[in-house]
Chain A
Amino acid sequence: MNPILFGSRERPLFGVVSPACGQRRMRGIVICGPIGEEYQRAHRALRVLAQFLARDGHDVLRFDYFGTGDSAGEGFEMDMGGAVADAVSAVEEIGDVAAVTRCTLVGLRAGAAIAAQAANRVHQVDRVVLWDPVTDGEEYAASMLADATPLPGNHGGGLNVRGFLFSRGLIEEIARIDVSTYTLASPEVLIVISEDRPRHHELARHLSDRGRNVSFFVHEGPRSWTEMGWSGVGAIPAPLLEQVVTWHR
């Protein structure tokens, strides 16, 4: 594992590269995490996914959006446009670091919406994995707002959502996420689900109707993005992670 800094001088981003082991498949994989407390919880599962994929011959980059994790900036400085640009930058970075021209974007929860939008902006991305994608942004934003407390103007005028800072603008952008957000140019799509909802099936139909080759995998069980006990972190859904690896073979 190689921790790196990449991105621009104004927008330095932290990432971790897991180089391919054994026979290289010459494919880069960029993982877009969820946001807020869901990212804190899912960090462990995302690391394990990166290890699985690297062991199977892929070069993998996980990264923190600007304003999150180890990257520069404050939470309320994050917005969807910036996060999509960060994901694009990550695709370019893994291309440079691993000398690969084909790339998969994997996105978990809100990270799936970010991955989908980034995929449409870089031609190297020919595969997308949507992992428990947020498909009802209004409901998701409402759940955030239910626990939100406003912060004073000198704190960016944002909101404290269960310990994490968000701008009101970002929450409004999240509220606009729906099935149409995932209108992908990439021909190959895998949807992996640990919480089966009708909207996920609707998403699969939406993509299939537009000629995408969609694989759909459900494994209901412990989720990576909800808290396990009082540990502050989520579970590692191994069958689901293995499915992501298998789909790439």
Chain B
Amino acid sequence: MASLGTFTERPVLFGRYRSLVGVVTSPAEDGDVGDPSCVFINSGIIHRVGPNRIYVRMARALAARGFTCLRFDLAGIGDSLVDPDAPGSDPQELMDWDTADALDFLAQGDQGQTFILLGICSGANQALRMAAADDRVVGAVMIDPDTYQTPGTYVRHYWRRVRDVTDWPGIIARRVGKWGSRLPGDPRPPRFLRATLLPAKAEMERTLDSLVERGVRLCYVFSNRELYYNFDDQFFREFPSMRHRPGVSVKYYGDADHTFSAPLVQERLVEMLLRWTTEEFDADSVEATSDAIEIGS
């Protein structure tokens, strides 16, 4: 175990096949440990440190505030192996098992009976899915999950593109013919990555409703993702019934990219995360927050 001032860290190997690798970050003083604990879920196939190492920064800041955190790799990602004896081959099923194993591991080690799940992109989708499936989950922080566009999303997206003359060659090239190749600077991702696994909107609304009824705290965070999410109120325009519901929080960072790569934006994100967790889950005082998360402190 490494003691790093306000928190300690230890690597762990767990899961029903002891094939999952993770790092537990705990508050330095045992007396501060309490529920809920936080579990970070891989963003895509990036290993457990998260894009630009942001999960490390988040976990250490949360531990300094009294929350035990587990960052781990789902089977097949990072250092975790897929056990050849694992039944089934459905990737979603394997992800569900692994996430449940992570919660069991912390619960069996007296490191939490209730949990907050956190994730970026696909990790956010998985956080919501497991929140709905497992009653031990009391909170979910979902950063840039798959989302539904509103008419306003399209209007803003295309209006920006029309206004930005540097985009015109790309737009014209695509409109003139399918042969129009991508031009440098065109940020459009390949088609296979644009495919979405979102359920029907009505089904999603039912899921969110049941989570709110159960008292699960939901923290949605969105960056500026142009065609996907591009204005402050988009979530509540998608789901008007969620507006003013208790425990539903939505933050939009118009100056952030998908992986929150700018350190100063990361710092604001971590600060918001600490404020949200302390307000929603009554941990240590929020006052000392900035000392704990300042990069380089």
Bitwise, A65-80 to B at CB < 8 A (1) or not (0) is 0001110101110000
A151 near B263 with CB under 8 A, answer yes
Bitwise, A40-55 to B at CB < 8 A (1) or not (0) is 1001100100000000
Q: Kindly state the separation between the CA atoms of A139 and B189 in the bound complex, as whole angstroms.
A: 29
Name the B residues within 8 Å of A229 (CB-CB).
Answer: 189-190, 192-193
Name the A residues within 8 Å of B12 (CB-CB).
Answer: 3
Name the B residues within 8 Å of A76 (CB-CB).
Answer: 296
Query: Shortest Cβ distance from B15 into chain A, in angstroms?
Result: 12
Bitwise, A139-168 to B at CB < 8 A (1) or not (0) is 000000000010100111000101111000
Asked if B283 CB lies within 8 Å of chain A CBs, one says no
Asked if B9 CB lies within 8 Å of chain A CBs, one says yes
Q: Kindly state the separation between the CA atoms of A47 and B82 in the bound complex, as whole angstroms.
A: 13
B23 near A154 with CB under 8 A, answer no
Q: Return the contact of A14 from the options B11, B44, B189 (Cβ within 8 A).
A: B11
Q: Return the contact of B49 from the options A70, A74, A231 (Cβ within 8 A).
A: A70
B295 near A163 with CB under 8 A, answer no
Residue from A16, A40, A154, A156 with most neighbouring chain B CB atoms (10 Å): A40
Name the B residues within 8 Å of A163 (CB-CB).
Answer: 51-52, 259, 261-263
Chain A: interface size category: 35 or more
Query: Shortest Cβ distance from B57 into chain A, in angstroms?
Result: 9
B11 near A5 with CB under 8 A, answer yes
Asked if A233 CB lies within 8 Å of chain B CBs, one says yes
Query: Shortest Cβ distance from A77 into chain B, in angstroms?
Result: 8
A-B interface pairs (CB < 8 A), number = 105
A3 near B295 with CB under 8 A, answer no
Name the A residues within 8 Å of B11 (CB-CB).
Answer: 3-5, 14, 70
Given A3-B79, A12-B2, A70-B56: A160 and B263 within 8 A (CB)? Answer: yes
A230 near B189 with CB under 8 A, answer yes
| B window 161-191: CB within 8 A of A | 189-190
Given A5-B9, A155-B296: A16 and B21 within 8 A (CB)? Answer: yes
Asked if B34 CB lies within 8 Å of chain A CBs, one says no
A232 near B2 with CB under 8 A, answer no
Q: Return the contact of A160 from the options B78, B79, B262, B296 (Cβ within 8 A).
A: B262
Q: Kindly state the separation between the CA atoms of A155 and B264 in the bound complex, as whole angstroms.
A: 9
| B window 65-121: CB within 8 A of A | 71, 78-79, 81
Q: Kindly state the separation between the CA atoms of A57 and B198 in the bound complex, as whole angstroms.
A: 45
Q: Kindly state the separation between the CA atoms of A16 and B78 in the bound complex, as whole angstroms.
A: 11
Asked if B46 CB lies within 8 Å of chain A CBs, one says yes
B52 near A5 with CB under 8 A, answer no
Q: Kindly state the separation between the CA atoms of A15 and B99 in the bound complex, as whole angstroms.
A: 23
A residues bordering B, Cβ < 8 Å?
Answer: 1-5, 9, 12, 14, 16, 37, 40, 43-44, 47, 68-70, 72, 74-76, 149, 151, 154-156, 160, 162-165, 229-233
Q: 13 A-B Cβ contacts within 8 A?
A: A16-B21, A40-B51, A40-B53, A43-B78, A44-B45, A70-B9, A70-B56, A155-B263, A156-B295, A162-B261, A163-B52, A229-B192, A230-B190
